[in-house]
Amino acid sequence: MERDVRALVGDPRWTTLPADVRAQVMAQRMLETPDGSRWLFGAHARWHRFGRADGRWHLSAPPAHPEVRSAARLLPPPPVIPPLPLPAGPDFVYDRGSTQAFVGPDVPNGITDGIRALLQAHRGLRRDDFPLPSGGLREMFARDVTSPVAAVWATVMWCAYAPAFDGNEVLLSMFGEFLARPLPGDDWVRWLPPTSLDALVSLYAERMGAGAGEAGLRLVRLMRDTAVVLRADTRFRPRAEALLAMAEPVLAQPWLDRHALAGGAVRQAWLSRCPPHLIGATLTEVSSGEHFRHSLYDLVEALAYTALRGVDPRAAAASLLAADLDGRFAGSPAAADAVNRLYAWMDEESRHWLYGALADPSHPLRGYWPVDDALPPALVPPDRRAAAALLGAAYATGLAWCGLTGTAPPASGFAASSAVVPFLIHQRDDPFPAAGPGDFSDLPPDHGRLRAWQ
């Protein structure tokens, strides 16, 4: 069915069909699994499950077990077609990249070398010409650090699918001398918070608002050049491509954001330039709920290997989500409000699993919770690639529900993603940071910031 729908949507005539005709065509492609669930491969090139209770379609990763999938059957089209998650066309060509975190498989040397070169070329600029505006970036960096350094960092962090990095990652260590305080996490993993597009574009907007147009354009060019380097890694590629699409028009038409700058709407102006086939990369900015749904879908896919062990990956994902919520709130009055916000973005089966795992200490799904910071045997990844994908998807899901509920991410990581770390820390690509210009390894031993970083 996936191949059939992809071929259908890939036909140039698809976007020219009236909406009611497209709905009729898609209604002929609904499937039913043996448990009576109805499924449709629709918008975003992802599966949707029909909710019997509310009569709506919900984004939901499909059953992964081969026997269940092969037993699915076509449903006759209903006499009255309910609203369907119709593919738009561009959403089917969106490249989702990789869900792997930056623990285990390191960032390739070509990327770290490229970022180091950009950092070295812009680190000596005058602070009077490139000050750091107030906000989170100013608090992160030392007082004498300039906005170009922050622009490189913010671009790296915004483009990262899941900013959990190996404690020895060279891409982070080259920023060590610029930071005002240690990054969250420990020597094994740095659990970094997400960087917003607003924080990134504020560096450019501040210079333009101060009448320093050349400096503002130089910052945009630096963001562009950083994204060009990053897109060689699939963990950065989708958002790097989206950032390029938003930033490059400014370099070709420097006056483009004039009205947005005057109205304080630069972020919105940049988002409006993101082409339809890359909108998925900006969900963190436009809809925290949609971003959570897609992150949870990624987590289910990362757990697909458990299906052959008799585990439903969707139930396992709901269980790990419950473990993270339980570990974060631990009976706090804020827990109920946070969970209720998540329910609205989940299909009814996942909601049922999540509620059961949180409410009942003896619920079977609690058997998938990490114990003593370790995954149960049924969820142990089969190899390093699967472990890195699970860690990344679990961490991205944690950040997504934090964003949706207004919760601060824990500095020590979430229960689920932290439990994956032991499967990766002894398989590092590079056990020690490589020395080089801009690394903290070439600083004197008594350097104050080096001590803070370590």
Q: What is the DSSP letter of 77?
A: P
The angle, 0 to 180 degrees and rounded to 10, between the axes of the packed helices 147-159 and 197-209 is 150
Residues 73 and 133 in one domain: no
d(CA 321, CA 351): 11
Q: Where are the beta strands (DSSP E) in 14-158?
A: 31-32, 38-42, 46-50, 57-59, 73-74
Number of domains the chain is built from: 3
Residues with Cβ within 8 Å of residue 139, at least 6 apart in sequence: 180
Does pLDDT of 68 surpass 50? yes
pLDDT given for residue 431 in this prediction: 41
* pLDDT at 433 (0 to 100): 36
Are 116 and 77 found together in one domain? no
For residues 132 and 248, membership in a common domain is answered with yes
Look up residue 445 and give its two tokens.
């031993």
Domain end: 40, 55, 88, which one? Answer: 88
Query: In one letter, which amino acid is 56?
Result: R
Half-sphere exposure of 444 toward its Cβ, with a 13 Å CA cutoff?
Answer: 3
195 part of a folded domain: yes
Closest CA to 323 of 379, 283, 284: 379
Q: Is the pLDDT of residue 437 over 90?
A: no
**Structural domain harbouring 371:** 288-423
Average pLDDT of the segment spanning 105-133: 93
Query: Per the domain annotation, does 138 fall within a domain?
Result: yes
Which amino acid belongs to residue 103?
V
Average per-residue pLDDT in the chain?
90
Tell me, yes or no, whether 81 lies in a domain: yes
Task: Identify whether 101 is part of a domain.
Answer: no
Looking at the domain assignment, is residue 103 inside a domain? no
Q: What is the pLDDT of residues 383-404, one digit of tens each?
A: 999 999 999 999 999 999 999 9
Please tell me whether residues 61 and 78 are part of one structural domain.
Answer: yes
Do 129 and 276 have their domain in common? yes
Q: Is residue 29 part of a domain?
A: yes
Alpha-carbon distance 324 to 330, whole Å?
10
Query: Looking at 88, 122, 140, which one is the last position of a domain?
Result: 88
| 145, 215: one domain | yes
User: CA neighbours within 13 Å on the CB side: how many for 59?
Assistant: 22
Q: What is the pLDDT of residue 439?
A: 32
Task: Compute the distance between CA of residue 74 and CA of residue 391 in angstroms, rounded to an integer.
Answer: 35
Could you tell me if 313 and 414 lie in one domain? yes
Q: Tell me if 94 is assigned to some domain.
A: no
| Beta pairing class for 189-191 and 31-32 | unpaired
Q: What's the one-letter identity of residue 292?
A: F
- Residue 249 and residue 117 share a domain: yes
Secondary structure (DSSP) of 319-330: HHHHHHHHHHHT
Residues 171 and 248 occupy one common structural domain: yes
Same domain flag for 245 and 150: yes
What pLDDT digit, counting tens, does each position of 302-322 carry? 999 999 999 999 999 999 999
Indicate whether 61 and 12 sit together in one domain: yes
Phi-psi region of 169 (alpha: psi -120 to 50; beta: other; left: phi over 0): beta
- Please report, for residues 26, 41, 287, 311, 450, the alpha-carbon distance to residue 192 in angstroms, rounded to integers and kept in the order given: 41, 34, 21, 31, 19
| pLDDT computed for residue 438 by the predictor | 33
Q: How far is CA 450 from CA 81, 221, 222, 447, in A?
A: 63, 30, 26, 5
- Asked if residue 44 has pLDDT above 60, the reply is yes
Give the model confidence (pLDDT) of 233-245 as tens digits: 999 999 999 999 9
| Residue 435 scores a pLDDT above 70 | no
pTM more than 0.85: yes
d(CA 199, CA 161): 17
Residue 64, pLDDT above cutoff 60: yes
| Residue 430 in this model has a pLDDT that exceeds 50 | no
Sequence-distant (6+) residues with CB within 8 A of 70 are none
Q: Is 169 in contact with 107 (CB distance < 8 Å)?
A: yes
Q: Are 281 and 241 in contact (CB under 8 A)?
A: yes
**CA distance linking residue 175 with residue 127, whole number of Å:** 17
Domain boundary among 32, 53, 88: 88
Please report whether residue 351 resides in a domain: yes
* 264 and 308 assigned to the same domain: no
